[in-house]
């Protein structure tokens, strides 16, 4: 049982009221949340300090423009805010931020986190022409019933980690049939409790209804298995990979939006990885042909060695791939199997080291010959 | 005549300066025989080997890649090879998951006094690669 707050408004109005209370009481200096930009349904993350601007904020809007993890990392990279800021983000975004903090690319100092049991988000390209707007009633209906909303992103359909690990505050959305009438805000940590302290609302003892979460978990697990099985059939060695990545145009968009890919000087974009005439010559001599620009497979495999250990399955890479390569399914699948051998769950605990920067003296004997 | 020639794999071997390279040297000075398939690259420590090196070698058409360093606990830099082991495990797992011939990658601990082990590893790995045949990546144009 954790302390919880009940606000008798719909979930979005409820959390907005809570955020307004935080701003007005001075408990936080700013609110980091999705905010509407225009009437077409375009949203972006914004840091809001004036309670008036909260009117346009849409904390639970089912789209993920850039992962909040990457954004918070940029926000806190050169130093934490001097006054507390509260960020509303999805569980995968939070996991991404935790992974970045582990890499010293951000900090939790003066950053409080609000997350939710997440119903998933729509693909980024639906954030135009009010496409998401029109889907909202269906979306919330599905979330209420612990179902997977139609048309959400592939990564979300197969996501089984829709309950945040480390959020200070969790908003109960999935399977909560009363989200039209009330907003249940669970205060998971001391920080969360102190934020809610003094708010004029009903306090109660509550916990997430795991049964309702499990209903969704089962559906998502089925979907995930289907996705993984499908991609597994295609990933048969180099031929399979060429099949999958053959249409990559080398825009490196997946890398740019990835919350784990944080290097400012990327190996794959450095002049070093540029082919010189001699490289072309030797390749031509060896193979009798070469794809131009070269290095696609090197990029993808290389990124797998960098990311797989910490892939949080946010699906941002899928969202931006202009040629529809199922990047996130592949990375999540490979990622999970790699994470398994290190017994590591990315984003679960900020104090746990990344497996590659630590070691046990006796382990992985099976990999030696 | 060329057709009759037995397939001799090209195996890239990353050898650490302090143990495995010395081990290879010892194999030589002890006049131990092993196949001419190994192309050694000396690195200061096995932990210098970025998994990207191995990927690059594999994509470049190496039939096999050997990573060798000091035995765990004996690293010249105290703990470099422990990191190597984790990185290698990660890479091998990725290869496995993509059904990409993980058997073409090998990790071995060879100390400076183990000339025999070096010769044995080189022979055995070469035999293994010979059985798997030439790497199919060699002829792929799209990479």
What tens digit of pLDDT does each residue of B84-128 get?
A: 999 999 999 999 999 999 999 999 999 999 999 999 999 999 999
Which chain A residues touch B122 with a CB distance below 8 Å?
none
What's the confidence (pLDDT) of residue A6?
Answer: 93
Cα distance between residue A34 and residue A36, in whole Å: 7
For residue B4, what pLDDT is reported? 58
Helix (H), strand (E) counts: chain B: 4, 4
Alpha carbon distance A200, B40 (integer Å) = 72
Mean pLDDT throughout A336-355?
Answer: 96
Structural contact between residues A303 and A255, judged by C-beta atoms closer than 8 angstroms: yes
Q: Decide: A302 and B56 in contact? Cβ < 8 Å.
A: no
> In angstroms, what separates the C-alpha of A273 from chain B's closest C-alpha?
11
Residues 97-136 of B with CB under 8 A from A: 97-101, 106-109, 121, 125, 136
Residue A257 confidence class, pLDDT cut points 50, 70, 90: very high
Would you say residue B3 has pLDDT above 80? no
CB contact under 8 A, B86 and A359: yes
Give the number of beta-carbon pairs within 8 Å between A and B.
Answer: 120
A-chain CB neighbours of B90 within 8 Å are 305, 308-309, 338, 341-342, 355-356
CA distance A312 to A303: 14
**Residue count of chain A:** 369
Q: What's the predicted TM-score (pTM) here?
A: 0.94
Pick the more confident residue, A368 or A359.
Answer: A359
Grouping H, G, I as helix, E, B as strand and the rest as coil, residue A117 is: coil
- Residue A38 is predicted with a pLDDT of 84
Looking at residue B2, its pLDDT comes to 52
Domain residue extents for chain A: 2-206, 237-367
- Residues of chain A in contact with residue B106, where contact means CB-CB under 8 angstroms, are 369
Kindly state the percentage of chain A with pLDDT values over 90: 85
Round to whole Å and give the CA distance between A290 and A309. Answer: 31
Mean pLDDT throughout A292-308?
93
Output the pLDDT for position B5.
76
> How does pLDDT run across B11-58, given as a tens digit for each residue?
999 999 999 999 999 999 999 999 999 999 999 999 999 999 999 999
What HEC string does A209-254 produce?
CHHHHHHHHHHHHHHHHHHHHHHHHHCCHHHHHHHHHCCCCCCCHH
Q: Place A248 in a pLDDT band, splitting at 50, 70 and 90.
A: very high
Domains of chain B, each with CATH number or no CATH: 11-137 (3.40.50)
The answer on pLDDT for A128 being more than 90 is: no
Q: Which two tokens stand for residue A305?
A: 């060695």
Of A246, A333, A361, the CB nearest to B142: A246
- Which residues, other chains included, contact B77 with Cβ-Cβ below 8 Å and sequence gap of 6+? B45, B47
Q: What is the mean pLDDT of residues A332-349?
A: 97
Q: What is the pLDDT of residue A107?
A: 96
Residues from chain B contacting residue A355 (CB–CB below 8 Å) = 86, 90
By the 8 A CB rule, do B37 and B11 touch? yes
Contact (CB, 8 A) for A206 and A184: yes
Provide long-range contacts, Cβ within 8 A and 24+ apart, for A323-326. A323/A247, A323/A248, A323/A249, A324/A247, A325/A244, A325/A245, A325/A247, A325/A248, A326/A154, A326/A231, A326/A244
What is the pLDDT averaged over residues A339-348? 96
Q: What pLDDT does residue B76 have?
A: 96
ipTM of this predicted complex? Answer: 0.93
Closest CB to B141 among A291, A298, A364: A291
- For the ranges A104-108, A127-131, A216-220, A297-301, the lowest mean pLDDT is seen at A127-131
Q: What is the per-residue pLDDT for A1?
A: 80
- The torsion defined by the Cα of A333, A254, A109 and A18, in degrees rounded to 10, comes to -90
Contacts of B100 in chain A (CB under 8 A): 237-238, 241
Structure confidence by residue, pLDDT tens digits, A163-193: 999 999 999 999 999 999 999 999 999 999 9
The predicted pLDDT at position B11 comes to 97
């Amino acid at each position: 049982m954790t302390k919880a707050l009940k606000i008798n408004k719909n979930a979005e109005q409820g959390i907005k009221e809570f955020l307004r209370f935080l701003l007005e009481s001075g408990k936080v200096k700013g609110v980091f949340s999705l905010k509407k930009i225009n009437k077409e349904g375009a949203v972006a993350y914004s840091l809001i300090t004036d309670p008036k601007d909260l009117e346009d904020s849409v904390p639970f809007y089912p789209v993920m423009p850039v992962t909040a993890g990457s954004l918070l990392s940029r926000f806190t990279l050169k130093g934490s805010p001097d006054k507390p800021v509260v960020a509303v983000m999805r569980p995968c975004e939070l996991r991404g931020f935790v992974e970045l903090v582990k890499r010293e690319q951000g900090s939790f100092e003066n950053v409080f986190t609000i997350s939710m049991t997440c119903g998933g988000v729509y693909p980024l390209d639906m954030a135009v022409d009010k496409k998401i707007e029109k889907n909202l009633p269906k979306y919330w209906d599905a979330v209420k019933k612990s179902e997977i909303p139609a048309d959400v992103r592939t990564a979300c359909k197969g996501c089984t980690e829709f309950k945040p690990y480390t959020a200070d505050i969790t908003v109960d959305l999935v399977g909560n049939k009363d989200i039209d009438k009330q907003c249940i805000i669970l205060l998971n940590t001391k920080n969360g409790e102190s934020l809610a302290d003094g708010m004029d609302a009903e306090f109660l003892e509550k916990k997430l209804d795991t049964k309702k979460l499990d209903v969704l978990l089962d559906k998502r697990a089925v979907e995930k298995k289907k996705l993984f099985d499908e991609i597994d059939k295609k990933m048969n060695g180099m031929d399979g990979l060429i099949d999958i990545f053959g249409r990559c145009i080398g825009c490196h968009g997946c890398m740019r939006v990835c919350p784990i890919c944080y290097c400012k000087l990327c190996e794959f974009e450095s002049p070093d990885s540029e082919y010189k005439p001699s490289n072309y010559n030797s390749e031509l001599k060896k193979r009798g042909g070469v794809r131009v620009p070269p290095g696609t497979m090197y990029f993808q495999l290389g990124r797998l060695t960098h990311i797989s250990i910490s892939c949080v399955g946010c699906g941002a890479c899928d969202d931006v791939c202009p040629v529809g390569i199922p990047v996130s399914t592949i990375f999540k699948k490979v990622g999970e199997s790699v994470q398994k051998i290190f017994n590591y769950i990315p984003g679960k605990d900020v104090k746990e080291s990344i497996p590659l920067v630590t070691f046990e003296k006796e382990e992985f004997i099976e990999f030696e010959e | 005549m060329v057709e009759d020639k037995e397939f001799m794999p090209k195996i890239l071997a990353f050898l650490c300066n302090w143990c495995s390279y010395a081990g290879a040297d010892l194999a030589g000075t002890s006049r131990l025989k092993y196949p001419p398939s190994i192309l050694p690259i000396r690195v200061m420590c096995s932990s210098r080997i970025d998994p990207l090196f191995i990927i690059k070698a594999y994509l470049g058409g190496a039939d096999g890649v050997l990573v060798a360093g000091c035995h765990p606990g004996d690293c010249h830099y105290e703990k470099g090879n422990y990191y190597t082991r984790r990185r290698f495990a990660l890479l091998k797992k990725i290869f496995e998951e993509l059904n990409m011939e993980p058997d073409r990658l090998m990790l071995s601990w060879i100390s400076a006094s183990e000339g025999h082990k070096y010769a044995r590893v080189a022979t055995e790995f070469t035999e293994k690669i010979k059985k798997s045949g030439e790497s199919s990546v060699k002829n792929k144009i799209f990479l």
